[in-house]
Amino acid sequence: MLHRLTKQGLICITQPNHAWLSGQLAQVWGNEHFGEFAPKKEVCLGAELHDIGWLFWEQAPTLNPQTGYPHKFMELSTQEHINIWSSAKQLALPLSRYVALLVSLHGTGLYERFTSWQNSATSSQIVQDFLEGEYAFQEQLIAFLENDQHYAPYTKPEVIERNRKLIGIWDALSIILCQELTSEAEVSQVPTIDGETTVKLTVKEVKDNHHQVAVSPWPFKDSQVELVYEGRLLQQTFGDEKAMREVLMSDCAVTLSTTLQPE
C-alpha cells in the first residue's frame, strides 16, 4: 500500500491500483527517442499486473500500530514480502506465460537491487531460497517460450532485459505519482533507442486530487497523457485493525488523476 498525505487526510493506494497506473503508462510509452517494445500486449499486461501478488493482502491490510495507518509496502517484514511475491507468478500464469515471466523477473529484480534483507542471516536465507525458486521458474518458462513460434523472438536475452527494465521504470514512475509529489523527482537508467537517460518530473499544479506534471525528456507517443486511478481516504488514525479494515472497505474511495505534459 502507498500513502499520500493530503489536507483531507491520508489517501491509501493499493499495490494493484498503483500497478494499474503502471499499465496506463506502458500503453502510451514510446516515441522516436525512447523506442518501442514487444510483445506489446503482454508487456502492458505485465506492467498492469506486476503487483498481483499483493491482491489478497490488500483485501485485509495490516495495521501499523506506530502510525495508526495501514502498513506501507516497505514496512512489512522480509517473510511477509516473500510470502506475497512467492504467490505472484502462479496468479499471473493462468493469464499468460510471458506475463508470468515478467512478474517473476520484476520480483527478483527488486531483491537484487534493494538488498537490506542481507542485514540478517535469517532474512538472507529466506530471500536466497525465494530467488533460487524464481530463477528455476524463469529458466523453465523461457525454455517453453523458446519452443513457441510466436514467442521465440521475444525470449532473446536483450529483449527480456529491456522489457524487465521498462516494467521497473513504469513501477518507479507510478510510485512517484501515487505518493505525495510536491516539487521534483527523477527516474534514472530509463532505456532509450541508443542507451539510457534520466527522466525528470516537475509538479506544475495541484488542485484537489488532480496533479499536473511536466516530464522531460518526453517518453510518450501522445502529446499529453491523462491518467486516472483510485485511493481510499482515511480521516483518522486507528488503534484497532478490524476497525481500520472496515473503514477501508466502506465508501471512502476517491478518484485521483494526473495530467502529464512535456516540459
pLDDT digits (tens, 9 = 90+) for 8-60: 999 999 999 999 999 999 999 999 999 999 999 999 999 999 999 999 999 99
Per-residue pLDDT reduced to its tens digit, 53-86:
999 999 999 999 999 999 999 999 999 999 999 9
The CA–CA distances, whole Å, from 1 to 62, 211, 213, 246, 250 equal 10, 20, 22, 16, 17
Q: Which pLDDT value is given to residue 234?
A: 97
- Residue 118's pLDDT is what? 83
Mean predicted lDDT score pLDDT of the chain = 95
Cβ-in-10-Å burial (0-12, 13-18, 19+) of 214 comes to: middle
Tell me: pLDDT of 180 over 80: no
Q: Is the full-model pTM beyond 0.85?
A: yes
Predicted pLDDT of residue 183: 86
Q: How many domains does the chain have?
A: 1
Q: Which amino acid is at 235?
A: Q
Digit-coded pLDDT (tens) for 207-253: 889 999 999 999 999 999 999 999 999 999 999 999 999 999 999 99
Question: Where does the pLDDT of residue 152 fall: very low under 50, low under 70, confident under 90, or very high at 90 and above?
Answer: very high
Residue 227 phi, psi (nearest 5): -120, 145
Contact 131, 111 (CB under 8 A): yes
Q: Which residues are within 8 A (CB) of 190 and not within 5 positions of it... i.e. 6 or more apart? A: 34, 169, 196, 197, 198, 199, 219
**Containing domain of residue 55, as a range?**
2-262
State the cell numbers at 185.
523527482
Q: Residue 216 pairs with which residues in a beta bridge?
A: 200
